[in-house]
Structure 1
């Protein structure tokens, strides 16, 4: 039993690592095309971001591999493969449920990571990216990576979800993690400063967190920040006036 589980862990680690390299690499390429040379002075920082991110991939791969093996061989989870097992309306609702639960977990663990002791021990690794790049999305100290690695594997034990819907959740998690760190705004100004941007977190909102630290802790949605009084609005991309649509309005 130990060898199949180990192989599942290795496979999931490789999948997560390749996914990170592919998505971060694609958006880093898009950044270079849009703003040539913008990361030129951050090569050493990018090297550190890739190092910590690949280390995080191994930590994410451990629970993911164990749970994947348990689902396939022991039926441990509530992941289902036949659409008819649950009402079709549950398919989009399950995606929303996972995103809401993940967002809540991230907000409170992220806020906890900003306590002075935990910040020094773990979260300072992520904030060493000044400013963050497209490679920084998984640049975590192992202790912080562990808090992020357990949430999705835990949710599949309590919330039913189709295997393809789980893929949608992971795709959203990956893309938003990268785009919120790449140093410019991918969404149009009318979205960021309009109704959509009042609820959905984009790079402009997360940029404020990386500049002011004690605010804007959310992952996908702004309502936890608004509810808890930690939302300080949009940030501004200081290095290049062409960067995105954020204009620094609080």
Structure 2
């Protein structure tokens, strides 16, 4: 049993690391073509971001591997595979539940990471990315990585989710994590300033956080920032 759990954890670590490398690499390549020279003087910073991110990949992969083993071998979790197991209308609802729950967890743990002691010990690693790059999405101190690694594994024990919806949640998490750190806005202004765009976080919003530190804490949505009056608007990265 323990050997199988270890293998599952190693496999998930490899998957998380590969997902990070592919997503960050793809958007870094897009940056080199759309914004030539933007990362030219950031070689040392990018190297540091990659090293921390690979450590984070292991921290994310271990609980994910344990949960994946438990789901497959013991029937743990509330992940389901049959499309008809729950009403089809629940699919988009579960997606929104997961994204909102993850966003809420991220907002409050992120604010906690900005307390002076935790910032010095852990979160300063992430904020060493000035300006952030496409490689910075998982550049966390292990303490901070743990706070991010537990939320989805905990949710799958509490909230039913189809495996395809879970895969979509992980894809959105990866893509938004990378694109929010690219250092430039990839979405057109008409979307960013649209009624929908005004509630979503993109690079223009998160870039302000890396400049001012004490604002724009969210991950997907601007809901908590607006409710708690920590939203400082957009930059023009």
Give the TM-score normalised by structure 1: 0.94
Structure 2, unaligned runs of 5 or more: none
What is the match of residue 154 of structure 1? 154
CA separation in 2, counterparts of 1:168 and 1:194? Answer: 24
1:193 Cα shift? 1.8
Count of matched residue pairs: 237
CA deviations on 1:187-211 (whole Å, 9 max, x unpaired) are 1101112212210011000001000
What is the match of residue 86 of structure 1? 86
- Do the aligned partners of 1:134 and 1:183 also contact (CA within 8 Å) in 2? yes
CA separation in 2, counterparts of 1:139 and 1:190? Answer: 31
CA separation in 1, counterparts of 2:235 and 2:151? Answer: 28
Question: RMSD in angstroms over aligned alpha carbons?
Answer: 0.6
CA deviations on 1:164-192 (whole Å, 9 max, x unpaired) are 11000000000000000001111110111
Runs of 4+ in structure 1 over 3 Å off = none
What is the match of residue 97 of structure 2? 97
- Do the aligned partners of 2:192 and 2:198 also contact (CA within 8 Å) in 1? yes
Higher relative contact order, structure no. (Cα contacts within 8 Å, ≥ 6 residues apart): 2
What is the match of residue 65 of structure 2? 65
What is the match of residue 27 of structure 2? 27
CA deviations on 1:93-138 (whole Å, 9 max, x unpaired) are 1111000000000000000000000000000000000000000000
Give the TM-score normalised by structure 2: 0.99
- Do the aligned partners of 1:208 and 1:236 also contact (CA within 8 Å) in 2? no
CA separation in 1, counterparts of 2:199 and 2:30? Answer: 26
Structure 1, unaligned runs of 5 or more: 238-250
CA deviations on 1:129-175 (whole Å, 9 max, x unpaired) are 00000000000000000000000000000000000110000000000
